[in-house]
């Protein structure tokens, strides 16, 4: 490096050979720095995506707790907690009814043998639902994605009210219709809800899983009340 500095500081009398050395050294430095810069950039985006999902989880947790308040306690209370898109706590959102089904492709608990759901084109995306909508103008799903879809009004035979609850609408309301966007070019926030079950003190709450379509196996969070 000292040699490089000395050669660069020379303003006259530099030979063609010395100039060639400078060029070669600069090229070598650039080549070694590029991968490090690229890795740093990817790491920054990964951290940013995790931070954005923290916001989503916090909003979902507040939503759940508000719904869990006794009926009449607040305008939004329903007597039992649920997540955006659920008509009721025991209704699934997305294509997974049990944790084991999800573990087979996402492996949230670090077990061996899960399929590699590690890119935005993987067909497992068809079992996930977009947080803010795949055609949201401020946070659309990437072109050529593996099939993530929007949540729709579900069928709830045990609900005492008219089924409602489109996931992207409820998520949008939580953020004032200002969607949280993934920092990745091929990223998109999506989620599934494993339904709860049981009654009274024996009931088990639902589980919310969030991921970034860029690499769901690596960029994923979950919450169980």
Supply the pTM of this predicted model. 0.78
The contacts of residue 50 (CB under 8 Å, 6+ apart) are: 219, 221
CA atoms within 13 A on the CB side of 46: 12
- Give the pLDDT score at 154: 72
Out of 104-118, 122-136, 142-156, give the one with best mean pLDDT. Answer: 122-136
For residue 23, is it within any domain?
Answer: no
Residue 79 falls inside a structural domain:
yes
Q: Which residue has the higher pLDDT, 107 or 49?
A: 49
**Residue 75 domain-assigned?**
yes
Residue 11 lies in a domain: no
Residue 45 lies in a domain: yes
* Lateral strand order in the sheet of 220-223: 129-130, 189-194, 207-212, 220-223
| Number of compact structural domains in the chain | 1
Q: What is the pLDDT of residue 105?
A: 82
Is residue 112 included in any domain, yes or no? yes
Tell me what pLDDT residue 110 has.
55
Q: Give yes or no for a contact between 146 and 214, defined as CB atoms under 8 angstroms apart.
A: no
pLDDT tens, residue by residue, 40-83: 477 789 899 999 999 999 999 999 999 999 988 888 888 899 99
Residue 202 lies in a domain: yes
pLDDT at 19: 52
The residue range of the domain holding 141 is 31-223
Q: Is residue 49 part of a domain?
A: yes
Span 119-143, pLDDT tens digits = 999 999 999 999 999 999 999 999 9
Pick from 74, 186, 177, 202: which is nearest to 140 by CA? 186
8 Å CB contact between 148 and 139: no
């Amino acid at each position: 490096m000292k040699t490089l500095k000395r050669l660069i500081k020379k303003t006259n009398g530099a030979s063609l050979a010395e100039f060639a050395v400078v060029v070669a050294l600069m090229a070598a430095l650039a080549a070694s720095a590029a991968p490090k810069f690229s890795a740093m950039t990817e790491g920054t985006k990964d951290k940013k995506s995790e931070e954005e999902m923290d916001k989503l989880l916090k909003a979902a947790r507040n939503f759940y707790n508000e719904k869990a308040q006794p009926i009449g306690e607040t305008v939004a209370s329903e007597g039992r907690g649920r997540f955006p898109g659920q008509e009721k706590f025991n209704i699934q959102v997305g294509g997974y009814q049990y944790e084991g089904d999800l573990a087979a492709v996402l492996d949230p608990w670090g077990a061996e043998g899960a399929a590699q759901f590690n890119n935005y084109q993987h067909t497992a995306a068809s079992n996930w639902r977009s947080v803010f909508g795949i055609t949201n103008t401020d946070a659309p799903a990437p072109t050529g994605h593996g099939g993530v879809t929007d949540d729709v009004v579900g069928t709830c035979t045990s609900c005492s009210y008219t089924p409602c609850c489109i996931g992207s609408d409820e998520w949008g309301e939580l953020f004032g219709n200002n969607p949280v966007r993934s920092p990745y070019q091929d990223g998109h926030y999506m989620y599934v809800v494993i339904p709860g079950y049981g009654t009274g003190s024996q009931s088990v709450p639902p589980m919310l899983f969030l991921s970034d379509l860029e690499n769901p196996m690596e960029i994923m969070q979950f919450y169980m009340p």
